[in-house]
Amino acid sequence: MPKNVTPTMRAHLDEETTRLAAIWRITRKDGAQFFFTDHDRDIVFGGDTYRADAGFEHTAIRSDAGFAVDNLDLVGVFAEGGIVEDEVRAGLFDGAEIAISFVNWQDPEGHGEIRLRRGTLGETRLTPQGYFHAELRGLSQPLAQNTLQLYGPDCRADLGDARCRFPLWPGVVARGTAYAAGQFVRASNPAGGTFAQDFDDRIYECTTAGTTHATVQPTYEVTVENTTTDGTAVFTARDGFSRAAEVALVDNDRELDADAALDAYADGWFDEGLLVFESGANAGAAYEVKHWTRATRRLELWSAARLPLEVGDRFRVSPGCHKRVIEDCRDKFRIQGSLLFAEGNAVNFRGEPYMPGSVAEAPA
């Protein structure tokens, strides 16, 4: 990171005594921001207040010209209104972006900042004494990881991602936006819904290209195959694959029973699928489903919920993909009447299922 400093800061550094304090800004993936300083009182800089009461400090910083990970750890204590233990254990700070700078604590705005480090939070260790160590991973960290793709019979895409292209959870329809035939959106009735249940388990395919109305969203049809005209674009209702439900019973931190919204789905339909909580302590957290049992409406998760589950917690759950080109891409994930997915999604299979190789012989 360039260490450009203002002339005023340069002059201050040349003085016999400096008045420098470290400040750091943490931005989580959900957009929440936290501001801290190692000074003995709060520092206001750039319109943000960097707190001094959270007890943060950092280790010495080591850099080199190679691609080794820079050596820097942050040490902090949990504080009300700051970083709390439950959120760290829940993984909300995993991969959070962090920026560290020096400022003149006496006149931060007038002197500007010396940018020290920018990166993401890596491994976080909690201690019985009530504080934590957080590793800072620099911008060179991704260069130390293997980012190449290997050929193989298994699909390398995840269901619904940019490579798979299946409209598992498309974006919300936007105002005054041009849509091409074959694009999918979500639309809530009335407009502005935030929970999965507000979208009536429907997705909408643009079947006549056009531009949506600039300001007013019409009421979207929820009957499958019915159309809605939005501006000059026409959208056809399709049955969505993600389903909205609520927790009806908590068995333990890995098993929960859903309400009647999932009654129509056979055993195993959601196996390897994704469950995303939309309310409750785990709101925003996603878990992979290990097994779905229809008779008891039980969803078993591969990993335990990081925070307590409660009856009434809302979530959406998607069916699992076992990455088989015939059983999954072609047969399971097809949308009746769709311009692109009426025959499934095998065209977007990101593997080589028929590549030559050894095949196990069937037993005699």
100 & 184 share domain: no
Residue 197 within any structural domain of the chain: yes
The answer to whether residue 159 sits within a structural domain is: no
Its domain, for residue 190, covers: 178-239
Same domain flag for 53 and 107: yes
Same domain, 264 and 290: yes
Strand order of the sheet with strand 233-239?
184-185, 202-208, 233-239, 227-230
List residues bridging with 204 in a β-sheet. 185, 237
Residue 31, pLDDT score: 82
Q: What is the CA radius of gyration of the chain?
A: 26
- Judge contact between 292 and 270, C-beta under 8 A: yes
Question: Is 8 part of any domain?
Answer: no
71 and 184 part of one domain: no
Query: Within this chain, do residues 190 and 232 fall inside the same structural domain, yes or no?
Result: yes
Each residue of 138-171: pLDDT tens digit? 666 666 666 677 788 889 999 999 999 999 999 9
Does residue 140 sit within a domain?
yes
Pair 256, 309 in one domain: yes
- Position 282 in a domain: yes
> 140 and 37, same structural domain?
yes
Quick check: is 160 in a domain? no
Q: Please check whether residue 40 lies inside any domain of the structure.
A: yes
Please choose, from the candidates 327, 353, 342, the residue with its C-alpha nearest in 3D space to the C-alpha of residue 167: 342
Counting as low any pLDDT under 70, the low residues of the chain are 1-3, 54-82, 84, 90, 123, 125, 127-132, 138-147, 357-364
Strand ranges for 67-190 from DSSP E: 73-77, 97-104, 113-126, 131-138, 178-179, 184-185
Conformation bin of residue 29: beta by default, left when phi > 0, alpha when psi is -120 to 50: alpha
Instruction: Give start and end residues of each alpha helix (H) in 71-177.
Output: 85-89, 108-111
The total domain count for the chain is 3
pLDDT for position 100:
85
The reply to whether 207 and 254 lie within a common domain is: no
- Among candidate residues 209, 239, 269, the one where a domain is terminated: 239
Residue that terminates a domain, selected from 144, 166, 191: 144
The pLDDT score that the predictor gives to residue 271 is 96
Long-range contacts of 40-48 (CB under 8 A, 24+ apart): 43/103, 43/105, 43/108, 44/108, 45/103, 45/108, 45/109, 45/113, 46/109
| Residue 170 falls inside a structural domain | no
Whether residues 33 and 139 share a domain: the answer is: yes
**232 & 281 share domain:** no
My answer on whether 30 and 127 are in the same domain is yes
Give the torsion sign (CA, 24, 26, 27, 29): positive
Residues 6 or more apart whose CB falls under 8 angstroms from that of 151 comprise 352, 355
Record the tokens describing residue 352, joined without a space: 């080589």
136 shares a domain with 25? yes
The DSSP element (H or E) to which 13 belongs, if any, is helix 7-13
pLDDT for residue 82: 64
Q: Give the residues across from 315 on adjacent strands.
A: 245, 277
Which of residues 214, 239, 264 is at a domain's end? Answer: 239
Query: Please, what's the largest Cα pairwise distance for the chain?
Result: 87
